[in-house]
Amino acid sequence: MLFYSTRTSSLKANLEEAVFRSLPSDNGLYMPEFIPTLPQEFLETIENRTFNEIATEVAFALLGDDIPRLDLENIVSGAFTFEAPVAQITPDNFVLELFHGPSMAFKDFGARFMAALMSYFLTRSNKELKILVATSGDTGGAVAQGFYKVPGISVTILYPSGKVSEIQEKQLTTLGHNITALEVAGSFDDCQWLVKEAFLDSELTERFNLASANSINIARLIPQSFYYFAAYAQVKKMGKPVVFSVPSGNFGNLSAGILAYKMGLPVHHFIASTNANNVVPRYLTSNSYTPLPSIETISNAMDVGNPSNFVRLTKLFDEDWEKIREKVSGYYFTDDETQESMRQIFSETNYVMCPHTAVAYNGLQKYRKDSGEDFIGIFLATAHPAKFLDLVEKTLDSSIYIPERLENLLSLEKISIPINVDFDAFKAYLLG
C-alpha cells in the first residue's frame, strides 16, 4: 500500500516511510492510496471471529502488501491483549467499552499497534527513534505505556499544564526511563503546534529520526478501525441498522470509523459528538470550517479547537460536503448537559460514564430523537471513568470503583519539565 499526502496527491510513501516520517514534507497527512473492500464472506461470518482475527483480517487488507500475514498476526496478538466488549445499557443503546487496555483509554488500541509495528520495522533497520507526542490527556498515557522501555526509542510528551486530570497527568509523568513529559504553559492546540513545527524544522529532522505518535501518524489511525468491526460483530445478530456515536476532539476516532465503513462495514450513520469545541458539528450544518482557540471543558481530552484529522474526514468522502452530511451528523453539548446524562444513566442503570463517553451518549440520544429512526445505537466509551475521579464522583455524588492500576498512580511523584509555547525553547530542549 502506498500512502499519499492530503496536500499533494503525487507525494507518496510506502508504509515504513509513512510510519517513521509521520507527516509528509508538505505538512499534509498520509492517507491510503486506495481503500480495499473486505470480502463479503468476512462480513457474513464476522460474529464467529475473535477481536484479533478481525483485526488481522482488516490489517491484512490494508497492509498485506507490506507485511506478511504471519507477521501481522504477531503484531496484532502482541498489541491487543485486551478486549473491546459491547454492553447493553437500554434496549437499543449499547456502549462499546474501549478502556480495558493498560492506560484505560481507547488510545491503547492505536498506541500499542503502532509500537508493535515500529518495533517490527526497527528490528530490521536498527534506527534510533525520537517520538514526539502532543496530548490533551489520554494519548500521552497510552503512548508512554506502549513505548515504555522499548529499546532504541525515546518519547517526549507535551501536555497542557493544568488541563489534564490528576490520574492522566500521573500516567504521563511517573514512568521515567525513556519517557519524558514537557508541561506546556498553553493549550493542547499549542502542544500540537509545537510538535508539528518540529517535523518541519530541517535541523531537527536531519539530526534525529523523529516520529509522531499522534493520530496524524497513519499507524495510529488504522488500528482504531478494528474495534468498529468488532463492535458490529457483537450486535449483528439483532438485525437492525447500526449507528455509532463517537466522542470527538482531534477526529482520529471518527476518521477510523469511516475508514471501516469505506472498507465495507455496514454502518447506517455516524454521529460526531463534541463538547463546546464544536468546529466540526458547525461545519456539518453550515459548510464553513473555522478552527477556533480551544475552550476548556470537563471532557478535557476533547478540548481541541483545530482538529488534525478534519482533512482526512473530507478526503474519505472525496471532499464532497453533501456525501459527508448524508453519513455524519454532528452535535455538541455543554458541560451541564454532559453531567446531566452522567447522572441520569447512573441513576437509571448504575452505569458510570466518563464525561467524554457521556458526550457520545448525548449525541446518540439527540440523533435518535431528530431522525425518528429505529436502530442499534453504539456509543463509544473512550476512557475509564476513574481517570476523571474527582469530576465523576462530584457529578454522581457517589464514590466509584478505581481499578488498582489507576489507584497506584496517585501516590507516585510527578516529574515534568515546564516549557512555554515557544518553538525555539522546545527546539533547544530537543537539541539538548
Q: Which residues are catalytic?
A: 107
Interacting partner of 274 out of ligand LJ64HWYM, ligand PLP, none (Cβ under 5 to 8 A depending on kind): none
Strands (E) across 98-240 are located at 129-134, 153-160, 179-184, 210-212
Q: Which residue type does 289 have?
A: Y
Residue 149: which region, alpha, beta or left (left: phi > 0; alpha: psi -120 to 50)? Answer: left
Which CB sits closer to ligand LJ64HWYM, 93 or 300?
300
Of residues 128-187, which lie at the interface with ligand LJ64HWYM (CB under 6 A)?
135-140
Instruction: Locate 143 and state its grid cell.
Output: 503512548
Name the residues that contact ligand PLP, by CB under 6 A: 105, 137-138, 215, 247-253, 301-302, 356, 382-383
Minimum distance from CB of 240 to ligand LJ64HWYM (Å)?
A: 30
Chain position carrying cell 492522566:
168
Per-residue x/- track, 206-245, ligand LJ64HWYM (CB under 6 A):
--------xx------------------------------
Residue 161 three-state SS: coil
> 346 is in the binding site of which of ligand PLP, ligand LJ64HWYM, none (Cβ under 5 to 8 A by kind)?
none
Least distance to ligand PLP from the beta carbon of 126, Å? 32
**Grid cell 535541523 — which residue?**
203
Record the cell numbers describing residue 201, joined without a space: 524544522
Tell me the one-letter amino acid at 206. E
Name, in order, each residue with C-beta under 8 angstroms of 285's C-beta and a sequence gap of 6 or more: 330
Angle in degrees, CA 327, 330, 335, rounded to 5:
155
Please, is 287 exposed, middle or buried when counting C-beta atoms within 10 Å of its C-beta (0-12, 13-18, 19+)? exposed
Closest distance of CB 279 from ligand LJ64HWYM, Å: 15
Part of the chain binding ligand LJ64HWYM (CB under 6 A), chosen from 52-60, 120-128, 232-240, 248-256: 248-256
For the record, the C-alpha cell of 346 comes out as 447512573
CB of 104 to ligand LJ64HWYM, least distance (A): 12
Residue 214 near which of ligand PLP, ligand LJ64HWYM, none (CB within 5-8 Å, type-dependent): ligand LJ64HWYM
User: Site residues (CB under 6 A) for ligand LJ64HWYM?
Assistant: 135-140, 214-215, 249-250, 252, 301, 308
